[in-house]
Amino acid sequence: MTATLLFQSFSAVLIGWLLLHYAHIYHRKYLFYWSYSFFSLAIFLLGSSLGLWLVDNDFGPSSPWRLINLFVITTAGYMQIAFLVIGTISLVKGTSINKFTFIRILMICLFIAFCITVFKNWDASGADLRYLTRIGLRYFTAGLACLGTAIYILRNDPNPIIGKKIVTIGFFVYGFEMTFLGWLTFENYFFNGSDLLLYLIPYHGLFELILYPIIGVGLVVWLLEVERIKSKKTADQLKHLNLSDALTGLPNQPALQQFLQQWSLVAQSNEPMTLVLFGVDKMARFNDGEGFKKGDQLLIALAKRIDMLCRGKPFYGRIYGDVFVLMMNGNEKNEIKKAEKIRQKLSRPFKLSGQTFHLEVSAGVTELSNTSDHEQAFNQANLALMFAKQRGGKQSLAFNSEMKSPQNSNINFENDLRSAFKNNQFELYYQPIWSSKNRIMCFEALIRWQHPSRGLLLPGAFLSMLQQMRMMIQLDYWVVDEAFKQAKAWRKVNTDAAKININLSAETIQDGSITEHIKQCSLRHQLTPQHITVEITENTLMQNIAIGTNTLNELRELGMEIAIDDFGTGYSSLNYLRSFPADVIKFDRTFVSDQSNHHLNHKILQALIPLCHDLNKKVVIEGIENQTQFNQLEELKVDGFQGFYLSHPLAEKEAIKMLTMSKKSMVKAMFNEAPG
């Protein structure tokens, strides 16, 4: 009997050690609890064999050795049950117990052990009751705990994995056996039951000896399976993360590539697909005006719409920035109509944080077969999208072979631009701004590029490239110098009108060193800065309100006037009109040219012009193209008029001629020769 107990104890230590070893590797709490449970069992079994030895060696029931041993093994016996249950709950629920709960459980076990140790210990007639409380009660509690644990596992997972199955069956069998033994002990005591208990007890040790390794192996298999499932889940999640866009959760570019590869393998040669790329018109402007956070919100809202509208289609996702992709079965001719319908639905106004935004979406469409070069097809759709945007947006455009990528020519164009500075190919044209008394108030200097092969280019053709090349400051520096030189020269001809407005870019304003450059130009050309007015667009100012205001205040201190250009196109509120450090407000040309809202625009001007005057700001209107517009604006008491009706931007020589004309001939030129 003692040998069996020692052997059992040894196997419990082995299992406990195995579990502890895995607990350290995997850092799992439940493994620690289970290993403690087996160590407690080992102590219990070792103590039991020591107890038998003490009895055999005539240590009486009151011997302190027997009492201490009894106290220890009872504590260990109940600790074994407690740890087993806690470990299982921790595994199924993923929770762990804190230090205080642990101490509480230990105290309860110590208390139970104390009660059991002293209960009837000195009562000679209490042997049966002692047996009942010391042995029977533990059988019963341990049995019920094992049965409860097995039921608990099954309830949480009716289809357990193999390791879990082994453990559950092990607990069931062990639990049943222990409960049965416990029940027999109670039956013997209360109802003088059969001698079955006596027959069974010797086999109990053997039974435990077989069952422990089974449960132990089951626990290890369970653990390995849990870890395998977990690492598979993590791998799947990683795969999902790699294939989905972090901002919108839609599939991303690698996912598209994967889709196209798989489709090419299974598709028939006569089964074409249509590739559609959607992009937001003027997204960069939206980001500039509203900030990137709102920009992201917009993309998320757009992704939700795409998700709703494209569900069921073979593939859809976000590729980069504001570009979303949709793959449809069928050829481009039929599918472009569907793409256009989706595009229109995507273009509906967006409500973001209570504000409504009217943004349009464009689409580029191309067709591909299973043998097509996917990258080429993607580039084609991208080109079609670019052309759709360039044509004013709000449209779906199918790719055609005449659409050429600007990429190669871009590199040459960049080189040309760099050498334009060295080769003095930039030139200023001057467009007069007329005062209300039909006199020239000043000129606006507008940059032109005399390209060696393309001829005279307008700013729209090269400013954005210069901006990408971060060369706007260099250009503005050159313009400032040139304007000072020109205004100084013109003063000899006409002192009143020899004033020049220059346009400064956002980069220059942000850089701030322009003030110093202006001071130097003023010294070099012997001309005070009052003769030069700085024009800065409303959007530029809004982007850099703090730095911009600072630079503009410095320029004003030099005596320069500041004009807010393209006023009314940005996102500024009327409130800013008051705080802008501006002397002149140049209303954007859309106030004059937008025929569809003519009445409304007129009303806005009618309200705003007196307001500007009240705030001590002059008003200039640009884009006047005919006499009717001019007459209407004259009635509104505008201070300055600018537009093709009065004069196109002029080359330097023509501008000088204009300056030297007498007032009379100017008026004549204005009404007889100006284009209508």
- Contact positions vs ligand C2E (CB under 6 A): 431, 446-447, 458-460, 463, 476, 479, 503-505, 535, 565-566, 589, 622-625, 642-644, 649
- Closer to ligand C2E by CB, 455 or 460: give it: 460
From the list Mg ion, ligand C2E, none, partner contacted by residue 201 (C-beta under 5 to 8 A by kind): none
- Closer to Mg ion by CB, 216 or 640: give it: 640
From the list Mg ion, ligand C2E, none, partner contacted by residue 458 (C-beta under 5 to 8 A by kind): ligand C2E
93-98, long-range: CB < 8 A, 24+ apart: 96/29, 96/30
- Closer to Mg ion by CB, 208 or 535: give it: 535
| 363 close to 340: Cβ distance less than 8 angstroms | yes
From the list ligand C2E, Mg ion, none, partner contacted by residue 623 (C-beta under 5 to 8 A by kind): ligand C2E
From the list ligand C2E, Mg ion, none, partner contacted by residue 89 (C-beta under 5 to 8 A by kind): none
- Closer to Mg ion by CB, 445 or 518: give it: 445
- Closer to ligand C2E by CB, 305 or 499: give it: 499
CB of 647 to ligand C2E, least distance (A): 8
- Closer to ligand C2E by CB, 217 or 463: give it: 463
Pairing of strands 396-398, 361-368: parallel
Q: Count other C-beta atoms under 10 Å from residue 279's C-beta.
A: 20
From the list Mg ion, ligand C2E, none, partner contacted by residue 172 (C-beta under 5 to 8 A by kind): none
Amino acid at 648: H
Q: What φ, ψ does residue 447 adopt, rounded to 5°?
A: -75, 140
Could you write out the three-class secondary structure of 212-261?
HHHHHHHHHHHHHHHHHHHHHHHHHHHHHHHHECCCCCCECHHHHHHHHH
Cα separation, 139 vs 122, in Å, equals 23
CB of 538 to ligand C2E, least distance (A): 11
From the list ligand C2E, Mg ion, none, partner contacted by residue 643 (C-beta under 5 to 8 A by kind): ligand C2E
- DSSP assignment, residue 327? E
CB of 592 to ligand C2E, least distance (A): 8
From the list Mg ion, ligand C2E, none, partner contacted by residue 184 (C-beta under 5 to 8 A by kind): none
CB of 465 to ligand C2E, least distance (A): 13
CB of 515 to ligand C2E, least distance (A): 16
- Closer to ligand C2E by CB, 82 or 480: give it: 480
- Closer to ligand C2E by CB, 149 or 431: give it: 431
Directed axis angle between helix 196-243 and helix 2-26, to 10°?
10
From the list Mg ion, ligand C2E, none, partner contacted by residue 274 (C-beta under 5 to 8 A by kind): none
Query: Burial code of 454-489, b = ≥16 C-beta within 10 A, e = fewer?
Result: eeebeeeebbeebeeeebbbebbbebbbbbbbbbbe
Q: Which residue has the tokens 């467009």?
A: 431
Nearest to 500 by CA among 425, 560, 552, 585: 560
- Closer to Mg ion by CB, 288 or 535: give it: 535
- Closer to ligand C2E by CB, 576 or 644: give it: 644
From the list ligand C2E, Mg ion, none, partner contacted by residue 367 (C-beta under 5 to 8 A by kind): none
CB of 609 to Mg ion, least distance (A): 17
Query: Burial code of 646-665, b = ≥16 C-beta within 10 A, e = fewer?
Result: bbebbebeebbebbeeeeee
Burial class (CB in 10 A: 0-12, 13-18, 19+), 32: buried
CB of 276 to ligand C2E, least distance (A): 34
Contact positions toward Mg ion, by CB under 5 A? Answer: 503, 535, 565-566
Cα separation, 498 vs 490, in Å, equals 5
Nearest to 322 by CA among 284, 378, 376, 348: 284
CB of 408 to ligand C2E, least distance (A): 26
From the list Mg ion, ligand C2E, none, partner contacted by residue 479 (C-beta under 5 to 8 A by kind): ligand C2E
CB of 622 to Mg ion, least distance (A): 5
CB of 617 to ligand C2E, least distance (A): 17
Cα separation, 109 vs 563, in Å, equals 86
Tell me the C-alpha to C-alpha distance, in Å, between residue 260 and each of 178, 277, 305. 62, 15, 23
From the list ligand C2E, Mg ion, none, partner contacted by residue 644 (C-beta under 5 to 8 A by kind): ligand C2E
Order of strands, edge to edge, in the sheet holding 315-320?
Answer: 315-320, 323-329, 273-280, 361-368, 396-398
- Closer to ligand C2E by CB, 566 or 639: give it: 566
Residue 550 CA, distance from chain mean position? 34
Cα separation, 423 vs 594, in Å, equals 40
CB of 635 to ligand C2E, least distance (A): 19
